[in-house]
Amino acid sequence: MPAARVVWITLPRSVLGVLKRFAVYLPSQYSRDAGPFPVLYLFRGHETEWLGNQDDRYGLVRLLNGMMDQGHVQPMVVVMPGFMETNRETQGIPVNWSENGRSRGVGNGRMEDHFFEVKAQVEKDFAVRRDRGGVALDGFSMGGYSAVLLGTRYPRLFGSVGAYDGSFMWPGQIDPRRKPAGRACKLWFSETCSPFFRRDGVWDRLKMERHNPIAITRMARGERLLALRSVAFHVRAAGAETSGNVDRCQALDEVFAARGLRNSFRKRLRFDDDARHTWAWADRHLTETLRLHDAVFTGSLAARHLPRRSR
């Protein structure tokens, strides 16, 4: 049996107009004949971040190898796309830029479109499942926002969505913690987010709400609401607001609960009293959510059936 490996794929004709690569983890059990395998898309910002050794981490590849080789979860393919500039001056999220892209690795900045071309390339090059019950999303910090954003915008495509300490938007982009009665969110109205939501110096608040999981969930009706309720979400926060995004995660989960969406961690939204906004804790989160994604993949935690629709 070959060893597990990480391969790098460079898209020859990216919608971005520039060369852009992404990483794919293939378990030791992988072969085309043995597939199709379930697939998990992992988000942070840059495509290399999940593979780093920040915070004296155990290491993603070792974590995945241990979980799969010891039979805790079935073998799966794990994909790590990136949405960040080469010099990492902006956030890395799957949202098409409002400004023209810059020349530092993002081309025209069509980041949501780029995610879907990555997904299509993975399905072309590797033996992976395409049914929603075999496709999961997960992420840390802005990657947690990215996973939940895609899961709420396209609930018919993904059966399982995790997030650790996501940097979620506030309702209406108003941070209620800013006195006297709530003010604009400093994070989302920062220069690092401006290429996605600002053009010619003007912030597009309507576009921000179209990419706000809270607003998407609140506005959902009919079949879209049923689709959202069919997704298995696994959203959790760090141990304290001083060390994470507890308030943002709480605001999202309250809307999820009010609208009837599932969250596996609703009764223990805070991961642990000691949990911090660090990679070491993100890895611990992933150790648990891998089991939950696997439960959706196997059908023991079902992604409820929906008629086939385009995204």
CA distance 204 to 219: 18
Taking only the tens of pLDDT, the chain with its 311 residues reads 688 999 999 998 889 998 899 999 999 999 999 989 999 999 997 888 888 766 556 689 999 999 999 999 999 999 999 998 777 788 999 999 997 655 567 889 999 999 999 999 999 999 999 999 999 999 999 999 999 999 999 999 999 999 999 999 999 999 999 988 789 999 999 999 999 999 988 999 999 999 999 999 999 999 999 999 999 999 999 998 887 899 999 999 999 999 999 999 999 999 999 999 999 999 999 999 999 999 999 998 866 655 555 45
Number of H helices and E strands in the chain, helices first, is 9, 12
Strands (E), 28-71: 39-43
Least Cα distance to 252 among 221, 306, 296, 214 occurs for: 214
Instruction: Locate 290 and state its tokens.
Output: 């891998």
In the three-class reduction of DSSP (H, G, I as helix; E, B as strand; rest coil), residue 26 is classed as strand
Find the helix or strand (DSSP H, E) in which 80 lies: strand 77-80
Domains delineated in the chain: 5-168+212-298 (3.40.50.1820)
Neighbours of 270 (CB within 10 A): 18
CA distance 38 to 293: 9
Instruction: Locate 217 and state its tokens.
Output: 């969930």
Task: Please report, as a single letter, which amino acid is at residue 70.
Answer: Q
Which pLDDT score is estimated for 104?
66
Which pLDDT score is estimated for 310?
45
Instruction: Locate 296 and state its tokens.
Output: 């959706």
Question: In angstroms, what CA-CA distances link 134 with 22, 38, 106, 114, 258?
Answer: 20, 5, 29, 21, 27
Question: What are residue 198's DSSP bridge partners?
Answer: 203
Question: In angstroms, what CA-CA distances link 48 with 58, 92, 143, 211, 255?
Answer: 16, 12, 13, 24, 32
Q: What is the pTM of this model?
A: 0.94
**Crossing angle, helix 279-298 and helix 60-69, to 10 degrees?**
30
Find the helix or strand (DSSP H, E) in which 235 lies: strand 232-236
CA distance 110 to 76: 28
